[in-house]
Chains A and B, each alone.
Chain A
Amino acid sequence: EAGVAQSPRYKIIEKRQSVAFWCNPISGHATLYWYQQILGQGPKLLIQFQNNGVVDDSQLPKDRFSAERLKGVDSTLKIQPAKLEDSAVYLCASSFSGIETQYFGPGTRLLVL
C-alpha cells in the first residue's frame, strides 16, 4: 500500500515570496491533516479536512496561509507571503476515519531566508 506522498521535499525561499506544498493521502482515507513542526517542537495542527470540507482550521494563520482539498483527495497548502518564522517542516497525514492511526508523509522542509 502506497503511503502519504508529499512534494516538494525541500524548499528554500526568500521572505515575502509565495510557496505551495502538495499532499496525496493514502487511497480511501477521508481525513487529511496539515501540521507545522518547528524545530524542537511537536507538530501543530494547521487544518483538518474531512473529504473536501474543513473540520478544523482554528490554528491556521489565515492572513497568509490557505489550504484546499477540492476533490476530497489531494490537498495543497499555500503560504503567501512567507515570513522567517514559517521555516519549519510541514507534515501531511491521513486517516481512514475517527481517531485511528494517522499516517504521516515524509514532510516538506521549508526554509525562509
Chain B
Amino acid sequence: KNEVEQSPQNLTAQEGEFITINCSYSVGISALHWLQQHPGGGIVSLFMLSSGKKKHGRLIATINIQEKHSSLHITASHPRDSAVYICAVPYNNNDMRFGAGTRLTVKP
C-alpha cells in the first residue's frame, strides 16, 4: 500500500464543473502540500496546510488530520486548470512522500 494515495488517477470535466481530488496518507505528518504540474514538468506549490481549510481564488483545500485525508476542490473549473495535481506529505525530517498525481482535463 502506498503511503500517499490519490483519487481519481484521471479526471475529465466540462468547463464550469466543480472538481474534487482526494488524498489519503498513512504516515504521520504536521502539514500536507498540494502541488500543480503543468505539461512540460514545472511544479508549483498551491497550498501547504496543517488543519482546517485554505482558499485561494477558485481553489479550496481541506484536511482532516485525524482521518489522514485531504481534498482539493476547484470551483467553476476552466481549461487552464488542466494539469496534474499532486499531494505531498512530509515523511520525516526533511523528506517527503508524493502521491502519483491526478491528471485533470477540463474541456471547454
> In the bound complex, what is the Cα–Cα distance between A52 and B88 (angstroms)?
25
B93 contacts A by Cβ under 8 Å: yes
B42 in contact (CB, < 8 A):
yes
Kindly list chain A residues whose C-beta atoms are within 8 Å of the C-beta of B100.
40-42
B40 partner, pick from A44, A45, A99, A106, beta carbons under 8 A: A106
In the complex, number of A-B residue pairs with CB atoms less than 8 Å apart: 60
Interface size classification for chain A: 20 to 34
Q: A42-B98, A45-B95 are in contact. Are A107 and B42 (CB under 8 A)?
A: yes
Q: CB distance A42 to B86 under 8 Å?
A: yes
Total number of B residues with any Cβ neighbor in A under 8 Å: 23
A101 touches B41 (CB 8 A): no
**Interface residue A37 (Cβ < 8 Å from any Cβ of B):** yes
DSSP majority for the A interface? strand
**Chain B CB within 8 A of A65 CB:** no
Q: What residues on A are CB-neighbors of B44 within 8 Å?
A: 104
Indicate whether A55 sits within 8 Å of B94 (C-beta atoms), given known contacts A42-B86, A99-B30, A99-B31: yes
The reply on B96 being an interface residue by CB < 8 A is: yes
Contact A48 B95 (CB under 8 A): yes
Tell me the chain A residues, 95-112 only, with Cβ under 8 Å from chain B: 95, 97-104, 106-107, 109
State in angstroms the CA–CA spacing of A60 and B79 once bound together: 37
Docked CA distance A56–B91 (Å)? 12
Q: Which of A42, A43, A102 has the most CB of B within 10 A?
A: A42
1/0 per residue, CB under 8 A from B, across A78-92: the answer is 000000000001010
Q: Which 6 A-B pairs have the closest CB atoms?
A: A42-B98, A107-B41, A104-B43, A99-B90, A89-B41, A42-B100
Besides A45-B96, A107-B43, 15 more A-B contacts (Cβ < 8 Å) are A37-B41, A42-B86, A42-B98, A43-B43, A43-B98, A45-B95, A50-B94, A98-B94, A99-B90, A99-B94, A101-B45, A102-B96, A104-B35, A107-B42, A109-B41
